[in-house]
Amino acid sequence: MIKDGDGMQARKATDLMRVTILGCTGGVAAELRTTCLMLDEDVLVDAGTGAGDLTVEQMLRIDTVFLTHAHLDHVALLPMLADMIGPRRTFPLRVHALPETIAVLRQHVFNFRLWPDYTILPSPQRPYIVLEPITVGQTLERGGKRITTLPVRHAVPAVAYRFDSGGASFVFSGDTTYHEPFWDALNAIANLRYLMIEATFLDDNTAAATAAGHMRPELLARGLRRLDERLRGRMRLLITHMEPGNEETIMAQIQATGIGLEPERLHRGQVFEF
């Protein structure tokens, strides 16, 4: 378990948790931002282009970033975030990710070629960014609130996250295809209230979904059918990471599976408190 450290603000265990959607699309264009969630005011989950809408003041409050995986649509703004935050305060940006994700960041991003190595700059003693490995199933506690990694399956090593305020849990799948252990993990979450899950491709696009390790509506329905009835009855289903241009058709295909849940298309700027 990792305890609160430099710069982390301790919270009362009675506080609600707040998830703000900064980016939730499978591509970029005007008004479309890739994956980034803000947890309360000081945590980001993924650092896609949605992170670019934060003001400097908001950026300076971010002390921790949790990454689901290394793909560019989820980490694109991390290097520039470190660049903005680092010189303006005295403690580093702490980044939690799988060891495989950290290895990609070290080799391909913070390598003095694509970007300066802020894990040792401006000095190894006081770098702008600290990369800390996590494992699947690990829980990190922050002021009475718990963030737990869950297993998923994607084209590269990846995790999902559960945010547990005590009263309720919000699960964010990151990128994943159908993976039984993920759904089994959900069934063990008695206070599950929100499932934010990707549905990148249309059902017609089976080959791409398989090759890229993403969901399509029928795969999503297969998972949802595995969920205990008691969870399905009180859970909100939030759909993210859809291929731009196909959103309405993907939503219609999800509804047509007859899963008995009302899927909601996620929008940038939405806030969930629980």
User: Footprint of Zn ion on this chain (CB under 5 A)?
Assistant: 71, 73, 175
- Residue 51 CB, shortest distance to Zn ion, in Å, is 14
**Measured from the CB atom, is 116 or 174 closer to Zn ion?**
174
Question: Distance (Å, rounded) from C-alpha 168 to C-alpha 166?
Answer: 6
Residue 84 DSSP one-character state: H
Q: What angle do CA 77, 26, 225 make, to 5 degrees?
A: 125
**Measured from the CB atom, is 71 or 162 closer to Zn ion?**
71
**Measured from the CB atom, is 38 or 168 closer to Zn ion?**
38
Backbone torsion region of residue 248, taken as left when φ is above 0, otherwise alpha when ψ lies between -120 and 50, otherwise beta: alpha
- Residue 29 CB, shortest distance to Zn ion, in Å, is 15
CA 24 centroid distance within chain? 10
**Measured from the CB atom, is 47 or 131 closer to Zn ion?**
47
- Residue 177 CB, shortest distance to Zn ion, in Å, is 10
Tokens found for residue 1: 């378990």
Question: What is residue 216's three-state secondary structure?
Answer: coil
Pairing of strands 271-273, 129-133: unpaired
**Measured from the CB atom, is 73 or 203 closer to Zn ion?**
73
Question: Distance (Å, rounded) from C-alpha 16 to C-alpha 13?
Answer: 8
- Residue 19 CB, shortest distance to Zn ion, in Å, is 18
Give the Å distances, CA to CA, from 47 to 14, 61, 257, 258.
28, 15, 32, 34
**Measured from the CB atom, is 175 or 203 closer to Zn ion?**
175
- Residue 154 CB, shortest distance to Zn ion, in Å, is 6
- Residue 75 CB, shortest distance to Zn ion, in Å, is 10
User: CB of 173 within 8 A of CB of 219?
Assistant: no
CA 110 centroid distance within chain? 21
